[in-house]
Amino acid sequence: MRSATISLAILATCLGGCNGGTADAPTKASESSTADARSPDGRRYLAQPLVDEIYTADPSAHVFDGKLYVYPSHDIDAGIADDDLGNQYAMRDYRVLRIDRPGGPVTVGPVALDIKDVPWASQQMWAPDAAYKDGTYYLYFPARDKSKDKNGLGAFRIGVATSKDPMGPFVADPSYIPGSFSMDPAVFTDDDGASYMYFGGIWGGQLQRWKDGVYDPNGSDTDLKQDDAPAISGKVVRMSADMKHFAGPVRDAVILDEQGKPVKGGDHDRRFFEASWVFKRDGKYYYTYSTGDTHFVNYAIGDSPFGPFTYKGHILAPVQGWTSHHSIVQWNGKWWLFYHDTQLSGKNHLRSVKMTELKFNPDGTIPTIDPFVP
C-alpha cells in the first residue's frame, strides 16, 4: 500500500478538460490552484477529490474497526467514445481507499481484484460494494459474462470475492452468484444481522432486458419506453448465511409517490435508474439511488428492507459529469455522503471520489446538497 500525502480538504486538481499525465492517472497541481478550482462554467466545488493519483468512481463506503474504507470503481481511459451502452467505462480492476480518521491522509491500496482473476467475467468491472461477516470481508462486483448479445457484449452478472483483509487482495469465486443479474450491488446488514443485496440499473445495466424474468439478449438498450406504466424497479434480495448466495426470491424495490402509487417510467426526476444504496436511521430504511439521465441522487423511505419506499426528494443535485453514484455512512458521530464527479479530467469516464457531511432535518428528511458553492 502507498499512503497518499493528500488531505481531504486540500487536494491536487486540474481544471475542465485537463487529461492528466497518463491516460489512467490525473496530473497533480499546486494546493493554491486546488483552492481556486472552478468548474468549466465558473462554479467552485463543494469538496475536493479524495485522491488524485488514480481515477475513482462509484464509491461504496464502510466503517470497519473504526476506520473508513471506500470501495470504488477504478476508472481508466480505454480510448472508447461515450455511448449509451457504457462501453467507455472499461474498468478492469479494483483498488480500495482507507482513511484512518476524518481529515487524515488517504491510503490507496494495491490492486484488490483484477478481471483476469475472475474466470467467468469478460470485461467491465463496474461499481462494487463490500461487507463483513465472521472474520471475512466480501467484495461484490458486477461484470459482463462471456455470452454475446446483439451488440456483441456479455450479460452483466454479480460476483463475490473474499479476503481476510479489508484492503484485499480478494479471491473471486469461480462463478457469479447464482440467479444474479444486472449491476450495482449494494449490501445492507440490518440490526438483526440479516443482510440484503440491492442491485440493478437500466440502459447499460440491462434491467429492461429482464422484464419477464428471463434475459433477452436482443432487448432494449435503454428502457421499456412505457412512460405511463410503473417504472422499472431496482431489485432487493436477502442474502444467505454464507453471504455468497441469494436466500429467497429477487423482489422489486418499489418507489411510491406521495399518493402511494408507483412512480412512473416517464418521471425521470424521480424514477430509479441505478446506484441503489440503503441505510437505516431511527428505525426507518432509506432507499437511495440515482436517476441517471436527469443526474439526481434521490431518496425514499420505508418501514421494511424490502420496501415499498415512499419518495421524499433529492439528496444531491447534478454534479459535473454525466453519472452520479454515491454511498452514505455514519462515521465518528456524523453522517457522510460519498459521490464522484469529473473535476480532475472533464471526461465522463474519468471520475474522482469526494465526500461531504450529510445532514438531516428534525423530521428525518434530508436537505438537498449542491455539489457547487457560490
DSSP output for 44-72: EESS--S-SSSEEEEEEEEEETTEEEEEE
The rounded mean pLDDT for the chain is 93
Average the pLDDT over each of 16-30, 96-110, 224-238, 289-303 and give the range with the smallest value: 16-30
As a whole-number percent, the residues of the chain with pLDDT over 70 amount to 91
CB 74 within 8 A of CB 142: no
Give 157's pLDDT tier (boundaries 50, 70, 90).
Answer: very high
Choose among 61, 10, 130, 104: nearest CA to 338. Answer: 61
Give 374's pLDDT tier (boundaries 50, 70, 90).
Answer: confident
The whole-angstrom distance between residue 350's C-alpha and the CA centroid of its chain comes to: 14
32-69 pLDDT, tens digit each: 556 689 999 999 999 999 999 999 999 999 999 999 99
| 162 bridge partner residues | 138, 171
Give 27's pLDDT tier (boundaries 50, 70, 90).
Answer: low
- The DSSP output letter for 264 is B
Give 13's pLDDT tier (boundaries 50, 70, 90).
Answer: very low
CB 142 within 8 A of CB 184: yes
196-250 pLDDT, tens digit each: 999 999 999 999 999 999 999 999 999 999 999 999 999 999 999 999 999 999 9
Cell output for 68: 473508513
Cα-Cα-Cα-Cα torsion 17, 18, 19, 22, nearest 10 degrees, comes to: 180
Cell output for 141: 462486483
Cell output for 269: 426526476
Task: Tell me the C-alpha distance between 113 and 140, whole Å.
Answer: 11
- pTM, two decimals, is 0.93
Taking residues 78-90, what's their average pLDDT? Answer: 94
CB 276 within 8 A of CB 287: yes
Cell output for 114: 483484477
Q: Where are the domains of the chain?
A: 2-373
For residue 76, pLDDT over 80 is answered with yes
Q: Which residue has the higher pLDDT, 15 or 163?
A: 163
What's the distance, Cα to Cα, between the start and end of the chain in Å? 37
285-299 pLDDT, tens digit each: 999 999 999 999 999
Give 29's pLDDT tier (boundaries 50, 70, 90).
Answer: low
Helices then strands, each counted (H, E), the chain? 1, 23
For residue 133, pLDDT over 80 is answered with yes
Task: Write b or e for each residue in 200-221: b if 16 or more Cβ atoms lie within 10 A of its Cβ, otherwise e.
Answer: bbbbbbbbbbbeeeebeeebeb
Task: Tell me the C-alpha distance between 147 and 219, whole Å.
Answer: 14
Task: Tell me the C-alpha distance between 296 and 371, whole Å.
Answer: 11
Q: Would you state the CATH architecture of domain 2-373?
A: 5 Propeller (2.115)
CB 217 within 8 A of CB 147: yes
* Residues that are catalytic: 58, 274
Task: Write b or e for each residue in 96-111: b if 16 or more Cβ atoms lie within 10 A of its Cβ, otherwise e.
Answer: bbbbeeeeebbbbbee
